[in-house]
Amino acid sequence: MDRRNRPALRQALRTRLDQMQGQVARWLGHLPDSVHHQLAEHLRHQTPFATLDPSLSTLLALRQWRRTAALPEDLMARIEQGRVQLRTEMRHILHRPTPVGQVQNLQLPGPQPLALRRYVPSGGSTSPLPLLVFLHGGSFSSGDLDTHDELCRLLCQLGQLQVVAVDYRLAPEHPFPAAVEDAFAAYAYCHAQARNWGADPQRVAVGGDSAGGNLAAVLAAEYADRNDAPCAQLLIYPAIEFYRQTFSKQHYGQGLFFSLPDYEQAYRLYNPTDRHDPRHPWLCPSYARHHRLAPALVVTAELDLLRDEGEQYAAQMRDGGTAVTLHRAAGMVHGFANMTPINRRAYQAVAQTAVDFRLLLDGLPHARR
């Protein structure tokens, strides 16, 4: 074989292996719990988390059983490898995207151009729909429009609302406060464009998962007194307080899909050498104002190291007079909103979130009927 063809062959084999792993993950997601228990026993995988969803336990067992490549020594190489891995996994676990009425790629005009993706549901509604500005997760250093495309499609179609996803700048190339500034700029643009898009300008909301939940919470607090304040906020397992020690960090910080060292590295990349005060309200929403913010739907995962800080933030907002609905997804882990193609309970949790958020929006005093 010509040596010049070897890299292409290796890449083709790697792609095929990724595709096969995605197919296996989808197949496992349809098996009954009893089969997962048998697989775990066969793989000699004993999880200390008795309430973990059985199919997720199987995925963890396979991940530990499968030999993984050594991480590069160079930090940026490791970060880029993580970004590629996330994009690859999301692409291959999805058999077919959830259909929506329209998908439009846009660009935020101005000195700092940002890619946006707008989703419009099918359904034939003649009245203006609510608009959700969505900020993706990924530890502030990964994730993009493609990694969260399926989640945005589900929120759009099942919630019957328009969604605009924001491709904000990532750390460490663009540390804090770049992502916050991008979130502000994108939200202001979407709010100004809502009427042109056929959306209801009185029902423009903000939301996000994980790191994106942090950005959404920051924006909701910062915009609270403005005329264009978000009408509601959707916070899916949000990152709220980097230094606070909690029960969930102690008990779910190892042995799952997202670890405490992962979380700590995310903070170091986002705010290197504590360049900014860790209590800055744009870094940790727990130090922002909580008085009468936009109504919030907060969704946490039972076995997630971020669970307690998300639920404590919900309590903070409620104590400040904010209307808050809190849901904890049983048996779920951090990142479950991206696992809908391979886990039926994750799909059910996201579907319920989409419906509940639309009900929240329809219950606002100024909601159009």
Write out pLDDT tens, residues 11-68: 554 555 555 565 666 666 676 777 666 676 666 666 788 899 988 888 887 776 555 5
CA 364 – CA 28 distance, rounded (Å): 41
Peptide bond into 177 cis (omega under 30): yes
Residue from 128, 147, 140, 271 nearest 213 by CA: 140
Helix, strand or coil for residue 191?
Answer: helix
Tell me whether residue 334 is one of the annotated catalytic residues.
yes
SS3 134: strand
Q: Is 290 a catalytic residue?
A: no
Q: Which of 144, 149, 304, 308 is catalytic?
A: 304
Quick one: DSSP state of residue 51? T
The number of beta carbons lying within 10 Å of the beta carbon of residue 5 is 10
CB 210 within 8 A of CB 267: no
Beta strands in 220-354 (DSSP E): 233-236, 296-303, 324-333
Q: What are phi and psi of 205, to 5 degrees?
A: -110, 170
CA 97 → CA 150, 273, 285, 340, distances in Å?
A: 6, 40, 33, 11
The pLDDT of residue 369:
42
The Cα 306–Cα 251 span in angstroms is 11
Contact 154, 123 (CB under 8 A): no
Could you tell me which residues come within 8 angstroms of residue 136 by beta carbon, excluding any fewer than 6 positions away? 143, 144, 145, 147, 148, 165, 166, 167, 208, 209, 211, 212
> What residue has token string 């509601």?
232
Beta pairing partners, 327: 299
Nearest residue to 309 (alpha-carbon basis) of 253, 359, 239, 367 = 239
The β-bridge relationship of strands 162-167 and 199-209 is: unpaired
Whole-number Å distance between alpha carbons of 337 and 304:
12
Q: Measured at the alpha carbon of residue 350, what is the angle toward residues 293 and 196, in degrees to the nearest 5?
A: 60
Question: 126: which 2 tokens?
Answer: 């003649």
How much is the pLDDT for 72?
A: 77
Label residue 269 exposed, middle or buried (CB < 10 Å: 0-12, 13-18, 19+).
buried
Q: Catalytic residue, from 210, 248, 286, 290: name it.
A: 210
The predicted pLDDT at position 110 comes to 77
pTM of the model: 0.91
The pLDDT of residue 8? 58
- Mean pLDDT score across all residues of the chain: 89
Per the residue annotation, which of 36, 92, 290, 334 is the catalytic one?
334
pLDDT less than 70: residues of the chain: 1-29, 31, 35-38, 40-46, 64-71, 366-369
Nearest to 266 by CA among 258, 277, 255, 256: 258
